[in-house]
């Protein structure tokens, strides 16, 4: 994670969960992201990317809510790292949505699960 990273991945997003639902859910626990981006896949569950105004707020959400239930649903949170930050280590040259071992590649982001 870099000092300027303020984005978290949020896992276990059901297909029916839209922006309004996630926004209200997060607001109900006093979490207010600047931006919410939802990605749905062919599988049952998708994910969301939450951008916060500061690294400190994002870290607090990660520590307090990762693998914890919110309204009866256990969500997962993790840092999102740009491919530029990891390109030397992983030698990534193609940007696609794919899963390889413990890594999910999505556009220009590498998510470590």
pTM, two decimal places? 0.68
Full domain range(s) for residue 70: 7-81
pLDDT over 50 at 96, yes or no: no
Q: Is residue 93 part of a domain?
A: no
How many domains does the chain contain in total? Answer: 1
Q: Are 103 and 111 in contact (CB under 8 A)?
A: yes
Q: What is the pLDDT of residues 70-88, one digit of tens each?
A: 999 999 999 997 655 554 4
pLDDT band at 33 (very low <50, low <70, confident <90, very high): very high
Which pLDDT belongs to residue 111?
A: 56
Q: Is residue 73 part of a domain?
A: yes
pLDDT band at 13 (very low <50, low <70, confident <90, very high): very high
Q: Is residue 74 part of a domain?
A: yes
Q: Is residue 110 part of a domain?
A: no
Count each helix (H run) and each strand (E run) in the chain, helices first. 3, 8
The CATH number covering residue 51 comes to 3.30.70.330
């Amino acid at each position: 994670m870099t000092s300027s990273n303020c984005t978290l991945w949020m896992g276990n997003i059901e297909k029916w969960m839209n922006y309004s639902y996630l926004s209200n859910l997060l607001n109900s626990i006093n979490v207010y992201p600047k931006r919410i981006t939802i990605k749905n896949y062919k599988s049952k569950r998708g994910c969301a990317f939450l951008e916060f105004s500061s690294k400190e707020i994002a870290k607090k959400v990660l520590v307090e809510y990762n693998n914890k239930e919110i309204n009866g649903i256990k969500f997962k949170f993790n840092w999102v790292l740009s491919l530029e930050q990891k390109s030397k280590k992983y030698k990534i040259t193609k940007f696609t949505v794919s899963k390889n071992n413990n890594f999910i590649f999505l556009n220009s982001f590498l998510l470590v699960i």
